[in-house]
């Protein structure tokens, strides 16, 4: 792990990221609510004041966020302070437009709108900069490696068990399995801060399941449905393997007859979906606890790389199957990656900042 702490340069937020947009809306409306409470002491005056102020603030906010969304690819290429100047100019423009549309007496209202708009802008930029410092690459690297450390002991234990089960009666197959283990651990030991192609992640899972198949034999069946899988989509490393490990350990192994693991990966619109199912035994609390740990682990990975643009859900289907559904933004590998703010503040840890269609990391 790198221990060199570099000075974190201020970086412009990614105005096309859902997490940035939601935080901006929440912060502005929270400020609006506090202003109303501070200015109007009686509850009787507050509802009317809220309607009047919202009539000015919300159109202003919507217009500015729309313009920032449109300008974001260009803002990403500018030095930070030039970007701040452009954002300030957009704030001035929005203040004038909204005031002209809503008021007849211009200058007092323009000055009022500009004052609060620039104040809110400065506060938000400072917040995103501090968030970037807090979630700097060094910190994210440490958090990602801490998450990976929770996977490797289980993975090593299960893989060694798989090889040990065949080493006596089929030495050649055991040798091949050890070679597969070596390939897998090369992946585990490399720098896994960056995103990886989904095709490589699936190949890793195939190798892992092949090792488990040696150990479990006919008790383990795998149903792959990946014809519509976008192999070039960039995903967090080791996002599927821990879920498959838990599906085997808490689903297939607990049933005397074994079971089938279903893997369905596809893309729709600008999202990648991965749906994993494994057998479920009602009343098996050990099974349920184990899956919760794996789900929490992967959910943390998704949050670190994609912020609010990714999601994960799990459910039990008809008391027979346990399903985990992962949703991620469809991003291709960027060339060359540019440095952005929100990839560190809860978005892609380091690798692709933008894909070819203009999406970037949170």
Phi, psi (deg, nearest 5) at residue 354: -135, 150
| pLDDT for 327 | 94
Cβ partners under 8 Å of residue 225, min gap 6: 262, 263, 264, 265, 266
pLDDT at 208: 83
What CATH topology corresponds to 137-329?
Answer: Heat Shock Protein 90 (3.30.565)
What pLDDT is stored for residue 333 in this prediction?
Answer: 78
Report pTM: 0.63
Q: What is the residue-level pLDDT of the chain in tens, covering all 362 positions?
A: 343 444 556 778 888 888 888 888 888 888 878 777 766 666 666 677 677 777 778 888 899 899 999 988 888 888 888 888 888 888 888 888 887 777 645 556 667 777 778 888 888 888 887 877 766 555 555 555 565 555 556 667 767 777 887 788 778 888 888 887 787 777 666 655 678 899 989 988 888 888 888 778 888 999 999 999 999 999 988 889 888 888 888 888 877 788 899 999 999 988 999 999 998 877 655 545 555 666 777 887 788 788 788 889 988 888 888 899 999 999 887 654 444 444 433 444 334 333 333 343 33
Domain residues of the chain, as ranges? 18-133, 137-329
Nearest-angstrom CA–CA distance, 354 and 362: 10
Structure tokens belonging to residue 161: 């068990």
Compute φ and ψ for 156, nearest 5 degrees.
-65, -45
pLDDT at res. 227: 92
């Amino acid at each position: 792990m790198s221990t060199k702490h570099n000075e974190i340069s201020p970086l412009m937020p990614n105005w096309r990221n859902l997490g940035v947009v939601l935080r901006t809306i929440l912060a502005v409306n929270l400020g609006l609510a506090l202003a109303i409470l501070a200015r109007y002491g009686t509850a009787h005056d507050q509802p009317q004041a809220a309607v009047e102020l919202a009539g000015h603030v919300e159109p202003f906010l919507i217009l500015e966020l729309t313009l920032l969304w449109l300008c974001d690819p260009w803002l990403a290429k500018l030095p930070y302070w030039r970007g701040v100047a452009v954002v300030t100019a957009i704030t001035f423009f929005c203040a004038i437009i909204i005031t002209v549309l809503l008021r007849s007496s211009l200058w007092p209202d323009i000055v009022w709108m500009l004052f609060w708009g620039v104040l809110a802008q400065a506060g938000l930029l400072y917040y995103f900069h501090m968030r970037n410092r807090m979630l700097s690459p060094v910190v994210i690297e440490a958090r990602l490696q801490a998450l990976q450390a929770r996977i490797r002991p289980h993975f090593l234990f299960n893989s060694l068990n798989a090889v040990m089960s065949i080493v006596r009666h089929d030495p050649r197959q055991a040798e091949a399995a050890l070679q597969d283990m070596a390939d897998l651990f090369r992946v585990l030991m490399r720098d896994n801060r960056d995103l990886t192609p989904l095709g490589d992640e699936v190949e890793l899972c195939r190798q892992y399941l092949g090792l488990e198949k040696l150990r479990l034999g006919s008790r383990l069946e795998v149903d792959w449905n990946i014809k519509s899988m976008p192999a070039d989509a960039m995903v967090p490393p080791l996002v599927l393997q821990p879920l498959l490990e838990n599906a085997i350990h808490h689903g297939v192994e607990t049933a005397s007859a074994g079971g089938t693991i279903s893997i369905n990966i596809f893309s729709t619109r600008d999202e990648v979906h991965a749906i994993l199912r494994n057998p479920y035994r009602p009343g098996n609390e050990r099974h349920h606890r184990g899956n919760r740990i794996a789900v929490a682990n992967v959910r943390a990975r998704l949050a670190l790389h994609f912020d609010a643009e990714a999601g994960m859900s799990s459910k039990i289907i008809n008391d027979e199957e346990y399903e985990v559904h992962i949703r991620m933004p469809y991003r291709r590998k960027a060339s060359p990656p540019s440095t952005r703010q929100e990839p560190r503040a809860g978005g892609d840890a380091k690798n692709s900042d933008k894909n070819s269609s203009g999406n970037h990391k949170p």
